[in-house]
């Protein structure tokens, strides 16, 4: 059934997720887009279909809130797999941001962001893992953020949700590695998307000034890196060989250094 990729992309109707879907579609994949707004999904489906590389390719749309009812999320993702075949990659892009000073943010900001950005990645991942384990293959991508590596002014509600994804990814990786399932985490910088434009409307001045120290990326570029990393990590054997080489190169450099120091000190004593 699957001589082509079968990715499911949450948040696939906009921004980074849309570009990830296009990137996979250009490689011949059958795509499932997951987001809430049906019109946006259909519009994106049409846009993606322009990039088809063969006439069998399909773009399936699922309208669901990834952060609300786990049972429902599980059902719709399973239904999609019945239609298109087993998913080989899940890219968790659905997410949103609210900025503001800690004391100015309402409690529901903290609750909603944790629900969408964190649980909204847990639910779809939990739904696809059993099939991936059975098939002894799969990839799951979590889209964190540079604000998931550093806590920055204005991001008290957002950053923790993105830090959480890293903890989830590392613990889950240890569990699923024996099943040949690979987890990657992306940490994108500010990226030009509808979500970013929305976020920028209410950013505190401090956050703006901090953000302006680094430039805004294009969503296409971020998506390309996300897809490439997800595929590269699968080449487990190459990674191991690569690490071995790095280790052996380090020891060459170390030997040369010791050699050079020795000959320098004998030069001095002569």
Ligand X SMILES: NC(=O)C1=CN([C@@H]2O[C@H](COP(=O)(O)OP(=O)(O)OC[C@H]3O[C@@H](n4cnc5c(N)ncnc54)[C@H](OP(=O)(O)O)[C@@H]3O)[C@@H](O)[C@H]2O)C=CC1
Residues numbered 81 to 100 that lie near ligand VSD (CB under 6 A) are 97
Residues numbered 5 to 44 that lie near ligand X (CB under 6 A) are 10-11, 13-17, 35-37, 40
Residue whose CB is less far from ligand VSD, 214 or 263:
214
Do the beta carbons of residue 210 and residue 69 sit within 8 Å? no
Q: Name residue 158's beta-bridge partners.
A: none
Structure tokens at 48: 């993606």
Residues numbered 172 to 211 that lie near ligand VSD (CB under 6 A) are 189-190, 195-196, 199, 210-211
Binder among 22, 59, 77, 116 for ligand X (CB under 6 A)? 116
Catalytic residue check, 177:
no
Residue whose CB is less far from ligand X, 77 or 129:
77
As a whole number of Å, the CA-based R_g of the chain is 22
Binding mask 214-253 for ligand VSD (x = CB under 6 A): x---------------------------------------
Of the CA atoms within 13 Å of residue 79, those in its CB half-sphere come to: 12
Residue whose CB is less far from ligand X, 43 or 180:
43
Residues numbered 37 to 76 that lie near ligand X (CB under 6 A) are 37, 40, 65-67
Size of the site for ligand VSD (CB under 6 A): 16
Residue whose CB is less far from ligand VSD, 60 or 152:
152
Residues numbered 183 to 242 that lie near ligand X (CB under 6 A) are 188, 190-191, 193-196
Residue whose CB is less far from ligand VSD, 23 or 199:
199
Question: Which of 25, 155, 158, 182 is labelled catalytic?
Answer: 158
- Angstrom CA distances, 112 to 15, 21, 36, 223, stand at 20, 25, 15, 25
Distance, in Å, from the CA atom of 152 to the CA atom of 156, rounded to the nearest integer, reads: 7
User: Could you list the active site residues?
Assistant: 144, 158, 162
Q: Which residues bind ligand X (CB under 6 A)?
A: 10-11, 13-17, 35-37, 40, 65-67, 93-97, 116-117, 120, 143, 145, 188, 190-191, 193-196
């Amino acid at each position: 059934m699957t001589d082509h990729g079968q990715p499911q992309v949450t948040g696939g109707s906009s921004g980074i997720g849309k570009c990830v879907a296009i990137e996979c579609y250009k490689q011949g994949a059958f795509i499932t887009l997951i987001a809430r707004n049906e019109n946006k999904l259909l519009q994106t489906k049409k846009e993606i279909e322009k990039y088809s590389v063969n006439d069998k390719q399909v773009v399936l749309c699922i309208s669901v809130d990834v952060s609300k009812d786990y049972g429902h999320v599980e059902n719709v993702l399973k239904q999609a797999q019945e239609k298109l075949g087993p998913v080989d990659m899940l890219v968790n892009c659905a997410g949103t941001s609210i900025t503001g000073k800690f004391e100015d943010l309402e409690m529901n900001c903290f609750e909603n962001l944790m629900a969408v950005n964190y649980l909204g990645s847990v639910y779809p991942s939990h739904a696809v893992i059993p099939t991936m384990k059975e098939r002894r293959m799969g990839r799951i991508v979590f889209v964190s953020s540079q604000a998931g590596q550093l806590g920055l002014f204005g991001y008290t509600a957002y950053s923790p949700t993105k830090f959480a994804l890293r903890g989830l990814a590392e613990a889950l990786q240890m569990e699923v590695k024996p099943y040949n399932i690979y987890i990657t985490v992306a940490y994108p910088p500010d990226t030009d998307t509808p979500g970013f434009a929305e976020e920028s409307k209410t950013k505190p001045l401090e956050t703006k000034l901090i953000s302006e120290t680094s430039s805004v990326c294009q969503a296409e570029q971020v998506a390309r890196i996300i897809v490439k990393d997800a595929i590269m990590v699968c080449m487990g054997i190459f990674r191991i060989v690569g690490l071995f080489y790095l280790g052996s190169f380090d020891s060459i450099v170390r030997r040369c250094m010791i050699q050079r120091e020795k000959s320098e000190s004998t030069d001095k004593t002569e």
